[in-house]
Amino acid sequence: MLTSSFPELDYSDLIACDLPDPGTLSRTLRIALLSDAATQQFVPILTTLLARAAIRAQIYEGGFDAIEIEAYNPDSGLYRFDPEVVIILNCVQALRSRFGTRKNSPDQFVNESLNRVTGVWKQLQTHSQAAIIQSTFALPYERTFGNLDLKVPQSFYAIVSSLNMRIAEAARDRPGVLINDVEYVASWTGKRFFFDDRYWDLWKSFCALEHLPRVVQNIVDILVAQFGRSVKCVICDLDNTMWGGVIGDDGVDGIKLNAHGEGEAFYRLQLFLKELRRRGILLAVCSKNEESNAKAPFLEHPDCILKLSDFVAFVANWNDKTSNIQAIQQELNIGLDSMVLLDDNPFERNLVRATVPDILVPELPDDPSEYVRFLSELNLLEVSSFSAEDLERSDLYTREAERRQAAAGYGCVEDFMRSLNMVLEIAKFDEFHLRRIAQLFQRSNQFNLTTQRHTEAACRSMMRSPELIPLYAKLSDRLGKHGLIAIVVLEVTGSDLAIRDWLMSCRVLARGVEQQMMNQVFAIARKLKVSRVIGEYIPTTKNGMVRDFFAKFGFQPIPEQGYEQGITRWQHEPAHYLEQPTYITTEMRFGEKE
Amino acid sequence: MNSNDDEITERLTRVFRSVFREPDLIIQPEMTSADVENWDSLSHINLVAAVEKEFKIRFTTSEIMELKNVGDLDGIVHQKTRS
């Protein structure tokens, strides 16, 4: 769960505590529990731990060992309950019995067990919209071959390992299936503590009761990431967080940061952060320091894993952390509740907690060697999905930062713009880009002349309309690709070429993209030999930035009566249009046939 | 009864009160699940777990099976905490 300190996970305390007033819980979640172990003990723990995350649980317990019975019958109580989430808890104890009485080969056993699991998923996804949270199997403690168990494919240990891997692989292709890695929890706890065979024998308990809350917390973490907040950015302090010592006093040679001894704790934290960055988590620095001192280790220290380019924001000054963090938040434009601050200083932690609402500020252990383990145990970084887009996002922010740094090094903006070697690729809508096009129609508010929220289906039909010329543009430059950042939909009406939609991502403002696009619009107008290019501006509360868009290009207002409030219409003759100077090369890709 | 007995009974009472959520519960040797409102199959498991935790002892499966009343439980706790 996304909390700043360890959740209290004592079993007896949890079952004894009173539930909070349901009115204080912001969301209700309908959850079905299906298991081949007993689920009675799960219910109060799950209810209590979800309440801590402000979620009210409505829980449906499937019959004992009735996973298939519930899933395969379209009229089962499960489907009548209409769950939003189905939690499937398969236990290794039940698997062990089946393995012991198997009639087939170990290979067949793995396939058959996998098919049971995926068969249930298919049924659930056929009859319900619920997200599925599938457990892995805790690896068994018994070894029939000793250390050879892992090497011998027919050992139960090897079978369970293989089955876990196959379940994870099968889940990769199904976005609606999330993995509850019970094996991680079991090995974190320690196998000899995790299992209590007496409780299984007598009551079919999933594990020793005292460790049940950790299994449940793992599920809660998944639910919170799926239905609530998730972390996108980690902001780091520097002195005694990123390295040992104070850079301003000790200098690059004096700080503790290396692959052995006392400096290794910081080295290890940097390795961990580097992996997070590779995963798509944004990293930022917020430190009370002289900027040149703060940057020195990243530039000069031989054992500094992180480099300046790994950070999407680097703030080192003597302002208070609160305003610095707010500045970072505005720059990145992500919610405060998706940010985590790592700071060794308790004063700063408390200050930020008190003044920046929603940001997560975990306690840090006194001994830096425990930083990474502590952060892992908090499980701050739970996510419910991971895509190539996540990786791109991080790169995008980083390149934006490089762009700003590069801009600082040029004598004038023009020199810098020229050095970017920008290329604008303009093409007619195509199936491949439709999703992103529709997304831009839905999301663009500021640079949007008419704010028409066309759906993906509407965009698809534009492709077939003979009167319409629906265009998108992708920008790339020397530092990277920006992707699809602009849409212009033109319509030929009589002797006019009308601009129906014009919207752009604000990421690429002030680079000449709109000028270059307008040049192309008039190139098309001349090719079609139309007499006017006309356009319309429909004001909203957010698109004030383009109020004078047409006027800037020399369009004349069309004086007409009876316009709705604030709407303006504009016209321009192609012969009088002045080609706009830009630093962009254009590649047109919209011949008659693609 | 010696002071050790008193202490065990006191600790056992605390465990019962917490598990069954009855702050005034007084336990008697002949008391069974029929006498306590919240003593059902689920809380029985919790009772066993809580007693084991409180006294840092471990019941065998058959000891758990043979528990008939509070007196049986008290007896096993005495026996296991004596050594």
**pLDDT by residue (tens digit) across A240-278?**
999 999 898 888 989 999 888 899 999 999 999 999 998
**ipTM of the prediction greater than 0.95, yes or no:** no
Q: Identify the pLDDT of residue A118.
A: 96
Rounded average pLDDT over B63-69: 89
> Which residue out of B17, B42, B59, B60 would a mutagenesis test of the A interface target, given it has the greatest number of A Cβ atoms within 10 Å?
B42
How far does the CA of residue B26 sit from the closest CA of chain A (Å)? 18
* Residue A365 C-alpha from the chain's centroid: 27
Query: In this complex, which of B21, B49, B60 lies closest to A16 when CB atoms are compared?
Result: B21
> What average pLDDT is seen over chain B?
89
Closest chain B CA to residue A210: B49
Top-confidence residue, A182 or A543: A182
Please list every residue in chain A whose beta carbon sits closer than 8 Å to the beta carbon of residue B59: 198
Please list every residue in chain B whose beta carbon sits closer than 8 Å to the beta carbon of residue A210: 49, 53
Q: Highest-confidence range of A3-12, A394-403, A529-538, by mean pLDDT?
A: A529-538
pLDDT tens, position by position, A299-349: 999 999 999 999 989 999 888 888 899 888 888 877 888 899 999 988 888
Dihedral angle of Cα A67, A70, A72, A76, to the nearest 10 degrees: 180
Report chain B's C-alpha Rg in angstroms: 12
Please list every residue in chain A whose beta carbon sits closer than 8 Å to the beta carbon of residue B65: 202
Q: Identify the pLDDT of residue A405.
A: 59
DSSP string, A305-325: ---GGGEEEEEEESS-HHHHH
pLDDT tens, position by position, A124-145: 999 999 999 999 999 999 999 9
**Structural domain span for residue B21:** 3-82
- In angstroms, the CA A574 to CA A529 distance is 9
3-state SS class at A487: strand
Rounded average pLDDT over B62-83: 89
CA distances from A179 to A176, A223, A539, B6 (A): 10, 11, 46, 50
Q: Identify the pLDDT of residue A393.
A: 63
Q: Is B49 on the interface with A (CB under 8 A)?
A: yes
Rounded average pLDDT over A507-513: 78
Q: At what angle do helices A346-355 and A321-332 cross, to 10 degrees?
A: 60
pLDDT tens, position by position, A174-219: 888 999 999 999 999 999 999 999 999 999 999 999 999 999 999 9
- In angstroms, the CA A293 to CA A255 distance is 12
How far does the CA of residue A165 sit from the closest CA of chain B (Å)? 34
Is residue A12 predicted with pLDDT exceeding 90? no
CA distances from B59 to B29, B31, B52 (A): 18, 20, 7
> Which residue out of B18, B20, B45 would a mutagenesis test of the A interface target, given it has the greatest number of A Cβ atoms within 10 Å?
B45
Classify domain A233-388 at the CATH class level. Answer: alpha beta
Query: Other CB atoms closer than 10 Å to residue A411's CB: what's the count?
Result: 7
Tokens of A21: 């007033």
Residue among A312, A325, A314, A256 nearest A290 (CA):
A314
Query: In this complex, which of B42, B53, B64 lies closest to A202 when CB atoms are compared?
Result: B64
pLDDT tier at A505 (50, 70, 90 boundaries)? Answer: confident
Task: Show the 3-state SS of A73-94.
Answer: CCCCHHHHHCCCEEEEECCHHH
Residue among A494, A492, A475 nearest A484 (CA):
A475
Please list every residue in chain A whose beta carbon sits closer than 8 Å to the beta carbon of residue B66: none
CA distances from B65 to A26, B48, B59 (A): 43, 11, 10
Is residue A149 predicted with pLDDT exceeding 50? yes
Closest chain B CA to residue A13: B18
| Tally of structural domains, chain B | 1
Spell out the residues 6+ positions from residue A182 whose beta carbon is closer than 8 angstroms to its own.
Answer: A89, A135, A136, A137, A138, A215, A218
CATH label of the domain that carries residue B72: 1.10.1200.10
Tokens of A501: 């939609």
Are A234 and A340 in contact by the 8 Å Cβ rule? The answer is: yes
Are A285 and A296 in contact by the 8 Å Cβ rule? The answer is: no
How far does the CA of residue A213 sit from the closest CA of chain B (Å)? 13
Tokens of A489: 């939909």
> Which residue out of A12, A18, A193, A199 would a mutagenesis test of the B interface target, given it has the greatest number of B Cβ atoms within 10 Å?
A12
Rounded average pLDDT over B13-37: 91
Task: Show the 3-state SS of A142-164.
Answer: CCCCHHHHHCCCCCHHHHHHHHH
Report chain A's C-alpha Rg in angstroms: 29
pLDDT tier at B77 (50, 70, 90 boundaries)? Answer: very high
Is residue A429 predicted with pLDDT exceeding 80? yes
Is residue A542 predicted with pLDDT exceeding 80? no
For the domain bounded by A11-227, which CATH number is listed? 3.40.50.1110
How far does the CA of residue A120 sit from the closest CA of chain B (Å)? 28
Tokens of A538: 């429909």
pLDDT tier at A234 (50, 70, 90 boundaries)? Answer: very high
pLDDT tens, position by position, A405-418: 565 555 456 776 78
Closest chain A CA to residue B44: A203
How far does the CA of residue B11 sit from the closest CA of chain A (Å)? 15
Percent of chain A predicted with pLDDT > 90: 58
Q: Identify the pLDDT of residue A1.
A: 37
The verdict on a CB contact (< 8 Å) between A198 and B59 is yes
Instruction: Cite the residue boundaries of each domain of chain A with CATH code 3.40.50.1000.
Output: 233-388
Per CATH, the homologous superfamily of domain A413-589 is Gcn5-related N-acetyltransferase (GNAT) (3.40.630.30)
The verdict on a CB contact (< 8 Å) between A15 and B46 is yes
Residue among A206, A109, A93 nearest A142 (CA):
A93
How far does the CA of residue B13 sit from the closest CA of chain A (Å)? 15
The verdict on a CB contact (< 8 Å) between A12 and B53 is yes
Q: Identify the pLDDT of residue A2.
A: 42
pLDDT tier at A480 (50, 70, 90 boundaries)? Answer: confident
